[in-house]
């Protein structure tokens, strides 16, 4: 279906590549364009959600922001999969660790995403859908981490609708082996499944829910580029 530009993306059909790497912060998208893309061209600035299309090792790639939370990434990835015919979306973002063996700066590859969102209600399923990543993307991300010597963890994340939560039951996700908290993966994975496309969420641990540790701005700048390297290796 070609219905572009959309209400949220100003790019014309064909200006966005089949493979996308997205981040919550549009300025991080700009950073990725500067660090990784050859001849990047800005293709979107609607609502300040920057997007740039260029090439990485000769292959077309678009980098773009998706905002914060399930509703925001849900809108953007739906339009990208269904209106711009994007095949693959890889999210790179931050997360808060839930396990003692997961440390600041580690990479978390979200094989699946538990959540407290009603996003899946729209599909009218007779049960609870389990949002999961594309296996090939997940496997290649692991291979890249091992090749580069990056410390990584693969498994479930928990994705919340609320950042500042007063619900004490969230601690139970730690008991279920959930690696970390983030806020976008379920909508990305469900939209990909519904459209028959591919998706993966890769996060860097920026803070620790159990210990209260947190990275500095400088540390985030230096360590977050590792997950970007992993994401671009999947192109």
pLDDT of residue 221: 66
Tell me the percentage of the chain whose pLDDT exceeds 70: 98
In the block, residue with structure tokens 């970007």: 228
- Which residue is catalytic, options 25, 87, 116, 207? 207
From CA 212, how far away is CA 146, in angstroms rounded? 28
Is residue 207 annotated as a catalytic residue, yes or no? yes
pLDDT of residue 173: 96
From CA 230, how far away is CA 234, in angstroms rounded? 7
pLDDT in tens, 71-117: 999 999 999 999 999 999 999 999 999 999 999 999 999 999 999 99
Distances (CA, A) of 101 to 12, 129, 159, 202: 45, 28, 20, 18
- CATH architecture classification, 19-232: 3-Layer(aba) Sandwich (3.40)
Mean pLDDT, the chain, rounded, equals 95
Position 2 pLDDT exceeds 70: no
- Report if pTM > 0.85: yes
pLDDT of residue 165: 87
Helices (H) and strands (E) in the chain, counts: 6, 9
| Residues 31-52, mean pLDDT to the nearest whole number | 97
Q: Where does the pLDDT of residue 136 fall: very low under 50, low under 70, confident under 90, or very high at 90 and above? A: very high
Position 182 pLDDT exceeds 80: yes
Position 1 pLDDT exceeds 80: no
In the block, residue with structure tokens 């090939």: 136
Largest CA distance in the chain: 49
pLDDT in tens, 202-228: 999 999 999 999 988 777 766 799 999
Compare 218 and 148 and report the one with higher pLDDT.
148
Tell me the percentage of the chain whose pLDDT exceeds 90: 90
Q: Which helix (H) or strand (E) holds 45?
A: none
């Amino acid at each position: 279906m070609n219905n572009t530009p959309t209400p949220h993306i100003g790019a014309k059909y064909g200006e966005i590549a089949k493979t996308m790497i997205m981040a919550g912060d549009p300025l991080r998208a700009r950073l990725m364009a500067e660090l990784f893309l050859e001849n990047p061209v800005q293709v979107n600035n609607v609502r300040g959600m920057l997007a740039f299309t260029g090439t990485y090792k000769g292959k077309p790639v678009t980098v773009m922001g998706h905002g914060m939370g399930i509703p925001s990434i849900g809108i953007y990835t739906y339009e990208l999969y269904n209106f711009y015919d994007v095949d693959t979306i890889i999210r790179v973002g931050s997360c808060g660790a839930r396990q003692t063996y997961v440390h600041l700066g580690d990479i978390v590859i979200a094989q699946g995403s538990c959540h407290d969102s009603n996003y899946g209600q729209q599909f009218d399923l007779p049960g609870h859908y389990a949002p999961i990543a594309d296996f090939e993307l997940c496997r290649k991300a692991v291979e890249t981490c091992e090749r580069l010597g990056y410390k990584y963890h693969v498994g479930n994340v928990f994705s919340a609708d609320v950042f500042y939560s007063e619900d004490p039951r969230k601690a139970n996700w730690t008991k279920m082996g959930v690696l970390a908290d983030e806020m976008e993966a379920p909508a990305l994975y469900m939209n990909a499944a519904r459209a028959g496309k591919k998706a993966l969420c890769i996060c860097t641990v920026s803070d620790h829910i159990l210990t209260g540790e947190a990275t500095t701005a400088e540390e985030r700048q230096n360590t977050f580029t590792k997950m970007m390297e992993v994401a671009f290796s999947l192109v």
